[in-house]
Amino acid sequence: MREIDTATLTDVIKEMCIEANHVLSDDMKSALLQAQKEEQSPIGRQILEQLEQNMNIASQEQIPICQDTGMAVVFLTVGQDVHFTGGSVQQAVHEGVRQGYKAGYLRKSVVGDPLERVNTGDNTPAVIHFEIVPGDQVTVTIAPKGFGSENMSRIFMLKPSDGISGVRQAVLTAVRDAGPNACPPVVVGVGIGGTFEKCALLSKKALTRDLRIRSNIESIRLLEEELLDQINRLGIGPAGLGGSTTALAVNIETYPTHIAGLPVAVNICCHVNRHVTRTI
């Protein structure tokens, strides 16, 4: 049994919150630079160049890539041979987010009650997802999610008879309806299967997958490629001003489901699809 003090978790999450908001991940940088080379619209290329400049300034000056520094979404993959000491794991995560957003001078955007709308003042609580796996390590992924794109996300409870064509239509409908509001070029996370809540979680997790890694299921990999091509034919383009780059990637995750259902969730993220992963 390996012991990990929750104070270590707090320190790691503090650092990750700052890093995620200041430095775009390598996969996102590569995707944006490649999009510049391939974008067919002059205005689209100009916007992508401006996004690159913004990305570089944020990294060099250690300022947020986007003014919406998001609600902190934390994925904890915990080895079953780990024993946490020093207090509550959940509170350690929230404390890491609180410290990170304070030390990094990041915008605090969380309200304590969804109806009364009073700001908590420290961007907590975070949204935490746990997974227990074999081993004695803890993998932490931080994915701050801005709500310009979050608000454009959708769930479709399809019938099995809708099949793959229904899935295609659902994804295209979500992206088309989002238009410029999701700050394209976007990354499209898709969850297929499970239940109402499971497919939503899959779509969120899909956004944290490295854009250079395609699905290891051949049919899903082909669907990712097909949907990316169809989305980029919509003509929405960078910033919604037209062009051939509406999405940088489509990442799909699947899960077994009930004989009577075909749940599909589409979680859209803007061009600052922030995600940082560390292992303790």
Residue 75's CATH number:
3.30.360
CA distance 105 to 273: 20
Tell me: do 256 and 125 sit in the same domain. Answer: no
Query: What is the DSSP-derived secondary structure letter of residue 206?
Result: H
Tell me: do 236 and 167 sit in the same domain. Answer: yes
pLDDT at 25: 92
Q: Which residues contact 1 (CB under 8 A, 6 or more apart)?
A: 81, 82, 83, 136
Tell me: do 236 and 182 sit in the same domain. Answer: yes
Host domain of residue 74: 2-20+65-144
Query: What is the DSSP-derived secondary structure letter of residue 111?
Result: B
The partner residues of 102 in beta bridges, in order of sequence, read none
Domain boundary among 116, 144, 172: 144
Tell me: do 125 and 152 sit in the same domain. Answer: no
CA nearest to 187, candidates 37, 31, 34, 42: 31
CA nearest to 243, candidates 51, 30, 24, 23: 51
CA distance 17 to 99: 9
CA distance 222 to 217: 9
Tell me: do 140 and 151 sit in the same domain. Answer: no
CA distance 142 to 104: 15
Tell me: do 151 and 208 sit in the same domain. Answer: yes
CB 32 within 8 A of CB 52: yes
CA distance 125 to 193: 28
Domain boundary among 107, 124, 144: 144
Domains held by the chain: number: 2
Reading the block at residue 184, the tokens are: 């394209």
Tell me: do 260 and 155 sit in the same domain. Answer: yes
CA nearest to 35, candidates 237, 277, 268, 219: 237
Digitized pLDDT (tens) for each residue of the chain, 280 residues in all = 899 999 999 999 999 999 999 999 999 999 999 999 999 999 999 999 999 999 999 999 999 999 999 999 999 999 999 999 999 999 999 999 999 999 999 999 999 999 999 999 999 999 999 999 999 999 999 999 999 999 999 999 999 999 999 999 999 999 999 999 999 999 999 999 999 999 999 999 999 999 999 999 999 999 999 999 999 999 999 999 999 999 999 999 999 999 999 999 999 999 999 999 999 9
pLDDT at 56: 93
E strands, 127-220, in order: 127-133, 138-142, 154-158, 186-194
The letter for the amino acid at 106 is: L
Tell me: do 163 and 95 sit in the same domain. Answer: no
Domain boundary among 100, 127, 144: 144
Reading the block at residue 152, the tokens are: 């454009």
In degrees to the nearest 10, what's the CA dihedral of 109, 152, 231, 273? 20
CA distance 241 to 236: 6
CB 184 within 8 A of CB 270: yes
**DSSP strand pairing (276-279 vs 262-269):** unpaired
Is residue 47 assigned to a domain?
no
Q: Which residues contact 158 (CB under 8 A, 6 or more apart)?
A: 166, 167, 170, 261, 262, 263, 264
The partner residues of 119 in beta bridges, in order of sequence, read 111
pLDDT at 111: 98
